[in-house]
Structure 1
Amino acid sequence: MNVLRTVFPFLSWLPAVRHSLRVDLVAGITVALILVPQSMAYAQLAGLPVVYGLYASFVPVIVAALWGSCPQLHTGPVAMLSLLSAAAIIPLAAPGTPSYIELSILLALMVGILRLVLGLARLGLLVNFISSPVMVGFTNAAALIIGLSLLNQVIGVPMPRSDFYLADLWGVISQLPETHLPTLAFAAGAWAFIWWLSRTAPRLPVLLIAVAVATAVSASIGFERRIEVPATAIMDRDTATLIQDYQQAAKNIQELNAAVAARSAELKALRDAGGEDLKETHFMRMESEIKLLRTETKLLRRDNDQRRVRLHAAALAGVESGGVMRFYPTDRLPAGVETDGRKWRFAGVRDGKVVLSAGGVVVGEIPRGLPTFHAPAFRWDAIIPLLPAALVMALIGLMEAVSISKAISAKTRQRVDVNKELVGQGLANIAGSFFGAYTVSGSFSRSAVAARAGARTGLFAIVSAMAVVLVLLFLTPLLYHLPQAVLAVIVMMAVFGLIRVRPLIHAWHVERSGAVIGIVTFAATLFMAPSMASGILIGVLLTAIAFLVKTMKPRAEILGVRPDGVFAGLDTHGLVPVSERVVPIRFDGSLIFANVAYFEDIILEARARFPKADTLLIVGSGINRIDASGEEKIRDIAQVLREAGVTLAFSGLKKQVRDAFEAGGLAAFLGAENLYDSKEQALSALLGRELREAPMADESLPDGRAVSQ
């Protein structure tokens, strides 16, 4: 039975389900009321149609609940991974296009496989490589990026896309004079309504009520207000030419995407077939062609985004003449004409016609029905570019899930198995990718609601997924008029709450190097966006470097004695030496290959500083282990000192270090008389007088000075 429960952890629910069925049902329904609006908002953040957020809230939720470790953890779309997904795919495809959707689903599969492999290999400990300051710095930057990346939807302007997020953000800010006031009113109203209702009636499904109210108001006032007109209805030559260029560029982008897919498939087929008769140069030439096509596509897409911005700024007024509507620039209207009183702006091209909008952007038509089983499209040309982002998303998603699970388990006293959680999250993403889902992870907000509602088993998550099924089958037409600005506000309110400055301030007081690394991670993530994965990788690299530096140069100092007999750092406290003949040196670090040279420098410098010394005593209570390099270095130093008439002695060695001394013969080489149980015993014997037992005063110092100081 234990083996079955290991393979099928949900079997452990069986005794509890009968007693917890009611609370799990209530918790599942409560979470579903949050899940539906959140999933649509996060899909929009990921650059996907909102229905894909609902798809990601169906199969992955069920699989993660069945194979996860924490019963109260709710898996599904989350803000962080939604933005990371968009950042990884935008360089390869335009948001919302079929190619973009394919790559989003492929990325979910890659993240799922990586998590599953890490879990099966029991490598959950990899999360320890991301320190707290690095994670805080990254989260703060990501929250800012997520929130501000939706600013264009709040003010109703297009978002330029490039390889530099800050430039894109400035492009949005520069369009503030073009703000669509009704869109801004919806956003501000939704923000105020959610804030007010959260405080006056926190037990109500606040987000769902806000979505329902906003949708009803939008439908009643005709917020969308779009029309399709022939290109000949645009009476301004410059605007008409720009629209024509935009349309042609969009067509060229589609053709280039098709060419990339075709060449990539051809290259894969040749490699799979062996291609013995082809030279490697032929493959390299094909790969170069694919890269050139991608670069050309990228440049075209960037230029077309700029055209979109310029077209949006070209406001038009509708004039009816002979039953036909014609559109003129609002600043160059013909004299004496009467307009329809609306300000029309370019919204796109569809089936050869120009789409104009005098209102805001709504969710629009959502396909009804459940996602069908379909294997993800394997774009082999995209796997390598997506791999770094997939690895970072796998680790960040794991950190989110584990931190949430541990926070909940601290109250429920349930044990969280990191590796089982990896397996559950991995299976959720893999299974979801076969049903149209993009990358998912554990959600803090929904998990907290589930725990507060009393959920006891993963059944609550399955209930929430069934609620999404009902929405997909019956309720999608009701969401047509939901303003996208409201979804943007839902995301912004969620992510801005993730910004925390206090942990970095606390880190500054505890260890400034960690705080500096957190600040650098924040700046790097912000500056390198949309390639946010690079920001956290820089933080991890800096943490590793800082750790190596500390390992290579641990705290070390000559000890002096205070008037009250307490030992303390000679230089730190400005004390007099214990003796010119006996020099005690404190060394707070394991003696391993990385720091043996530093250890030798300390000994030799102490010897030079106290030329009359006949004994150098290493206070080794801070030495936790020693390797072969450390043992060999001690032997060499002891031999050099012995030839100079100086004895090397040790005191306070821990058992594991003393055992290593014995096993390697180092104890016999140094002499048992030169190994003391404590520093007081050593100094009493060496100096020929009694010293009282006393703690060293510098135990609590935040840092210490090396002998060289």
Structure 2
Amino acid sequence: MLKRFFPILQWLPGYRKEWLSGDLSAGLTVGIMLIPQGMAYAMIAGLPPVFGLYAALMPQIVYALMGTSPQLSVGPVAMDSLLVASGLGALALSGIEEYIAMAVFLALFMGALQLGFGLLRMGFLVNFLSRPVISGFTSAAAIIIGLSQLKHLLGTDIAGSNQVHILLANAAKTLSTTNLTTLAIGLGAIFLISGLKRVNPKIPAALVAVVLGVLAVYFFGLFDLGVRIVGEVPGGLPAPTMPEVEVSRISELFPIALTLALIAFMEAISVAKAVEEKKGEKRVDANQELVALGASNIAGAFFQSYPTTGGFSRTAVNDQAGARSGVAALVSSAVVALTLLFLTPAFYYLPNAVLASIIMVAVFGLIDVKYPLQLWRNRKDEFILLLVTFVLTLGMGIREGILLGVLLSLLLLVYRISKPHIAILGKIRGTNYFRNVDRFAEDVEDMAQFLILRFDGQLFFGNTDYFREQLQRQVRKKGEGLQYVILNAEAISYIDSTAVFMLRALVQELRKRGIRFAVAGAIGPTRDILYSSRLIEDIGPENLFADTFQAYTHCKASAGRSELEAKIATQTTRGLV
């Protein structure tokens, strides 16, 4: 049991010496990357920069003990930071102290939800976030995150918003007050980071930009020209404290925490699975990942961390740098701890514009253009879902966009299962095969006496009317010569009570018209339902067949069948034949 919740007890005894160099290299690289990135993401969340370092400390340590992905880098990320800002920004808070307290408690609340979901084995929840929704949401959120940094890039006071049209309008009003020196620093940092990444992705481009930005402000006195800087960053490790908020605030935080819990899990599991597939390994356990992420956020909240998850860019760097185990994450957290203890004074002259440039380069890389183009060419319905999610997120906000996107994807799912594919089958000349007459119209035999229908889905309350209407329509098309209706049930895995009632009435209606109803190819669970619901009494065991060919030949010849043929067609777990 202990090894299940602490996978480190499984892999640490088998740790190999040859892994150490890769883990040290990856840990140092990601740790150095985390310092400016964490500070920048804290600014997105509306928190002082040092809270980004706090968020990069304890969560990494806990995940190294409990996580199942050797390469996943847990810490502050752009998406969750903006969700924190948009969620808390909508609440009436008294000041920065209450805002910080709410952000920290949000990590505890979100972590508790993730831990609960994991213990209840609810990792399947992420399946409700379809890829078109994720892609549309991520691209829109990246644009909002990037534009939210315009105030730091321009050096102006732009009123924040998570709605892109309002954000752009607010930015336009302040263009005349742009600080050109700040703009030059920000644009220079963007080109520098982008250029270094193209030259060599392993170069800590963000750290290079930070160092050059600090040196430029310090030696050229740019602070006197109105360039805004980070200022004093508190040193030392965060002291353990109990996160507290007023009880009345918990209900306000619940929708934010639930959204964060699911989005954060989606981010982490998707990047962890991507690395796993690339390496051909099968180690990532979705339910244990929920437990690990939940425990990381809970522990982090006691050390002043705001909500965290696995980061896309850092995990990629961690993998490229050679990470083989959770030791890399422990090294990264050690780098952050040493920075908090000894190096925070070095960030005093860091321009906010440099942090803004780090954020912009990181998030604009999340905008996906190829996938929407693929959907446009191949799946128009999913392209529309992606586009609607994208537009809703831009126009209504981050939280509203993802929630409405998930709702739309569920509605699309319900629509599809309420109207599954129905095929009218015909016998291919000279063979025993039965195929869709729409696809093989010239190759099927004349079957005026037969209607063979295949229903490709479960039969349940949501599609019983559709099934009945389609079957009755085909019966009318066949006309007076119709004598046999054969339901190919190979794709029907479940029949609910509403569908049983509908089928019973349908069989009786057909019988009154002198039409025999037969079922072919029903799988075991479906046959069990036919017997347990007593629907078999209406259909008749003699009208259950192992496959369509057997049903067709039996009806055509009006002949009997062997005892073995009857057993194959009707056998159930109840022992009835």
Is TM-score (shorter-chain normalized) higher than 0.5?
yes
CA contact (8 A) 1:363 1:484 kept: yes
1:430 aligns with 2:306: no
1:646 and 2:515 equivalent? yes
* TM-score normalized by the length of structure 1: 0.74
Match of 2:320 in 1: 452
Cα 1:132–1:653 change in 2 (3 A) is: same
| CA-CA distance at 1:681 after TM superposition | 3.6
Match of 1:487 in 2: 355
| CA displacement at 1:489 relative to structure 2 | 0.8
Task: Describe the shift of the 1:95–1:492 C-alpha distance in structure 2 as closer, same or farther (beyond 3 A).
Answer: farther
1:192-203 map, 5 Å:
192-203=191-202
Among 571, 579, 586, which residue is 2:447 paired with?
Answer: 579
Are residues 1:550 and 2:416 paired? yes
Q: Distance in 2 between matches of 1:130 and 1:621?
A: 29
Give 2:245's aligned amino acid: F
Q: Which runs of 5+ in 2 are unaligned?
A: 559-577
Taking the aligned partners of 1:152 and 1:577, their CA distance within structure 2 comes to 73
1:577 offset after TM fit, Å?
Answer: 8.7
Note if 1:522 corresponds to 2:390.
Answer: yes
Q: Which residue of 1 aligns with 2:13?
A: 15
| More displaced 10-residue stretch of structure 1: 168-177 or 136-145 | 168-177
User: Shift in Å at residue 479 of structure 1?
Assistant: 0.8
Alignment of 1:307-456 (within 5 A): 358-410=225-277, 411=279, 413-456=281-324
CA distance in 2, matches of 1:546, 1:515: 12
Equivalent residue letter for 2:457: G
1:241-282: CA deviation from partner (whole Å, max 9, x where unpaired): xxxxxxxxxxxxxxxxxxxxxxxxxxxxxxxxxxxxxxxxxx
Q: How far does residue 622 in structure 1 lie from its aligned partner after superposition? A: 2.4
Q: Is the 8 A contact 1:43 1:52 kept in 2?
A: yes
1:625 aligned onto 2:494: yes
**2:346 aligned to which of 463, 478, 487:** 478
CA distance in 1, matches of 2:91, 2:79: 20
CA distance in 2, matches of 1:43, 1:688: 78
CA contact 1:224–1:360 (8 Å) conserved in 2:
yes
Provide the residue aligned with 2:399 in structure 1.
533
Aligned to 2:12, the other structure's residue is in SS state: helix
Cα distance in 1 between the residues matched to 2:468 and 2:493: 18
What is the CA distance between 1:484 and its match in structure 2? 0.8
Aligned partners of 2:6 and 2:67 also within 8 Å: no
Question: What is the CA distance between 1:363 and its match in structure 2?
Answer: 0.9
| Equivalence for 1:682 | 551
Q: Give structure 1 stretches of 5+ with no counterpart.
A: 226-357, 690-709
* Cα distance change on mapping 1:95 and 1:402 into 2, 3 Å: farther
- Deviates most, 503-512 or 63-72: 503-512
- For residues 191-218 of structure 1, the C-alpha deviation after alignment (integer angstroms, 9 at most, x for no partner) is 1111222223433222211211111111
Please state how far the C-alpha of 1:163 moved relative to its aligned partner: 7.3
* One-letter amino acid matched to 1:660: I
Tell me if the contact between 1:388 and 1:533 (Cα under 8 Å) persists in the aligned partners.
Answer: no
Corresponding residue for 1:37?
Answer: 36
Contact map agreement 1:580 1:610 (CA 8 A) in 2: yes
Change (3 A) 1:412 1:213: farther
Q: After TM superposition, give the deviation of residue 671 of structure 1 in Å.
A: 3.1
3-state secondary structure, aligned to 2:269:
helix
**1:166 aligned residue:** 165
Match of 2:474, as an amino acid? A
| Distance 1:617-1:166 versus aligned 2 partners, 3 A rule | same
Match of 2:529 in 1: 660
Q: TM-score, normalised by structure 2?
A: 0.90
Deviates more, 1:537-546 or 1:648-657: 648-657
Contact 1:65 1:75 in 2 (8 A): no
Give, in angstroms, the shift of residue 94 of structure 1: 6.7
Whole-angstrom distance in 1 between the partners of 2:348 and 2:183: 19
Partner of 2:356: helix, strand, or coil?
A: helix
Distance 1:163 1:135 in 2: 18
- Specify the alignment match of 2:566 in structure 1: none
Select between 594-603 and 12-21 the one with higher mean Cα deviation: 12-21
Question: Which runs of structure 2 are paired with 1:18-417 in the superposition (5 Å)?
Answer: 19=17, 20-92=19-91, 97-161=96-160, 164-225=163-224, 358-410=225-277, 411=279, 413-417=281-285
Matched, 1:592 2:473: no
What CA distance in whole angstroms lies between the structure 2 residues aligned with 1:211 and 1:161? 25
Q: Please, which of 371, 376, 389 is the counterpart of residue 503 of structure 1? A: 371
Name whichever of 62-71 and 676-685 sits farther off: 676-685
Q: Which digits, 9 at most, give the CA deviation of each residue in 1:371-414, with x for residues without a partner?
A: 11111121323222221121111011101111121122221614
Residue 3 of structure 2: aligned partner: 5
- Tell me which residue corresponds to 1:698: none
Matched residue of 2:455: which SS?
strand
**Structure 2 CA distance, aligned partners of 1:614 and 1:23?**
73
Which shows bigger deviation, 10-19 or 205-214? 10-19
Is contact 1:570-1:577 (8 Å) kept?
Answer: no
Partner-residue secondary structure (3-state), 1:224: helix
- Displacement of 1:502 in angstroms is 2.1
Q: Distance in 1 between matches of 2:77 and 2:476?
A: 61
TM superposition shift of 1:498: 0.8
Q: 1:675 to 1:57 in 2, by over 3 A?
A: same
Work out whether residues 41 and 50 of structure 1, in 8 Å CA contact, stay in contact via their aligned partners in 2. yes
Is the 1:142–1:526 contact (alpha carbons within 8 Å) kept by the matching residues of 2?
yes
Structure 2: how far apart are the matches of 1:460 and 1:168? Answer: 39
657-666 or 397-406, which deviates more: 657-666
2-structure distance, mates of 1:506, 1:655: 39
Contact 1:432 1:438 in 2 (8 A): yes
Partners of 2:86 and 2:162 within 8 A in 1: no
| 1:219 aligned partner, one-letter code | Y
Deviation per residue, 1:336-365 (Å, 9 max, x gap): xxxxxxxxxxxxxxxxxxxxxx41111111
Q: Residue 611 of structure 1 aligns to a residue in which SS? A: helix
Q: Is the 8 A contact 1:77 1:439 kept in 2?
A: yes
Please give the per-residue CA displacement for 1:88-132, whole angstroms capped at 9, x wherever unaligned. Answer: 011225798212111111111111111111111111111111111
Evaluate the alpha carbon distance shift between residue 670 and residue 593 of structure 1 in structure 2; reply closer, same or farther with a 3 A threshold.
same
Q: Is the 8 A contact 1:559 1:578 kept in 2?
A: no
Bigger Cα Rg? 1
Partner of 2:505: 636
1: CA distance, partners of 2:170 / 2:58: 38
Query: Compared with structure 1, are the counterparts of its residues 669 and 91 closer, same or farther at alpha carbon in structure 2 (3 Å cutoff)?
Result: closer
Contact 2:114/2:290 (<8 A) preserved = yes
Kindly tell me: are residues 158 and 562 of structure 1, through their superposed partners in 2, closer, same or farther at Cα, counting changes over 3 Å? Answer: farther
Structure 2 SS opposite 1:455: coil
Aligned-residue offset at 1:522: 1.0
CA gap of 1:537–1:102, structure 2 versus 1, over 3 A, is same
Residue deviations 1:42-97 (CA, integer Å, cap 9, x gap)? 01111111001011111111112112121221110001100100000112257982
Q: CA 1:95/1:570 → structure 2, altered by over 3 Å: closer, same or farther?
A: farther
Q: What amino acid sits opposite 2:4 in the alignment?
A: T
